[in-house]
Structure 1
Amino acid sequence: MGYRRLNRLRKMLLFFSINVLSVVMIGCREQRQHQVPNVPVDEVIFLNLPSSLPLQAPGGWIYHPGGFRGLLIYRAFFNGNADDFRAFDRTCPSHINEPCGLVHVSDDNIISRCGCDSAGYILFDGTPEAGNQSLPLKQYRVQFFGNSIRVFN
């Protein structure tokens, strides 16, 4: 009787130890960090200028100087607030220093593609397209002021 109780206690201890070890191992897993360099970004884009005309409608986008290798500004909604706009660095997360490492908006105005390997990124939030194991596009903060937006970090 004592042997069975001791054996049962050992199994419970082993089960508990494995679970604790699993939790610790998952918690210690290396976090993937963005390798796109942090550069100061503070750009104001006036929405009433002809160059910004595409941003007047949802799904519209423009390229703008700034960031590490340029900015991609995308209008997702038409609610009249900062949540309408997304601002991403144009640098491909997997090809940071390569000449081909810029994203370009595809014809569907929903996906941007890396010039090196055609990896896709969804413009709504910058996440990689299905099957793309890359990090998401580097995103910047946006403030909306009615006729202008401010892109900054």
Structure 2
Amino acid sequence: MRNFFCFLLLLTFISCESDGNNQFCDIINNQTINLANPEFINLQVPAGWNYANGGPKGLILYNFGSSFKAFSRECPQLSCSNKMTVENDIKMVCPCDGAQFSILDGSPQTSGITNSVCEFRVIQVSGTVLNVTNY
């Protein structure tokens, strides 16, 4: 019986391989974004985006026309201390390794990258006020 238990324990450890996707998204305080603020004029049109405060390195907000998305500016590569940027209005780029991510869903667009960009929940409270929260 002892050998059987040892076998099961060994099998458990062997089957617990990491897939390399060890990213943890930071918890953020709720952020309120007023689209009437001139700082966010780009968010007032579909496909518009803007940087905003929130989280350890800020947020990237994107307007889908009928909804909004918010992504962390923190690179999925945890050792990177720089903020991600938006290039050509369609991709987010990590300046540390040049990895590219879709601004539509945060998915990696660079081969070999497995982690997506952290996404946060956006609730449109009124016509001009957004709340960004954790999921």
TM-score bucket (shorter structure): 0.7 to 0.9
* Alignment partner of 1:33 is 2:17: no
Q: Distance in 2 between matches of 1:61 and 1:88?
A: 11
Q: Which residue of 2 aligns with 1:134?
A: 114
**One-letter identity of the residue aligned with 1:139:** E
1:87 to 47, 70, 74: 70
Greater Rg over alpha carbons, structure: 1
2:80 to 98, 104, 114: 98
* Alignment partner of 1:65 is 2:65: no
Q: Which residue of 1 aligns with 2:8?
A: none
Q: Distance in 2 between matches of 1:58 and 1:132?
A: 31
TM-score by length of 1: 0.70
TM-score by length of 2: 0.78
Kindly tell me the number of residue pairs found equivalent between the two proteins. 120
2:124 to 134, 144, 153: 144
The Cα of 1:144 is off from its aligned counterpart by: 0.7
Q: Which residue of 1 aligns with 2:5?
A: none
Structure 1 gap segments, 5+ residues each: 1-23
The Cα of 1:102 is off from its aligned counterpart by: 1.8
Q: Could you list the per-position Cα deviations for residues 118-137 of structure 1 after superposition, in whole angstroms to 9, with x for gaps in the alignment?
A: 10000000000041413000
Q: Which residue of 1 aligns with 2:42?
A: 54
**One-letter identity of the residue aligned with 1:134:** T
Structure 2 gap segments, 5+ residues each: 1-11
Q: Distance in 2 between matches of 1:126 and 1:143?
A: 18
CA RMSD of aligned residues (A): 2.1
Describe the shift of the 1:130–1:111 C-alpha distance in structure 2 as closer, same or farther (beyond 3 A). same
**One-letter identity of the residue aligned with 1:126:** G
Q: Is the 8 A contact 1:111 1:122 kept in 2?
A: yes
Structure whose residues are more often helix by fraction: 1
Q: Distance in 2 between matches of 1:131 and 1:40?
A: 29
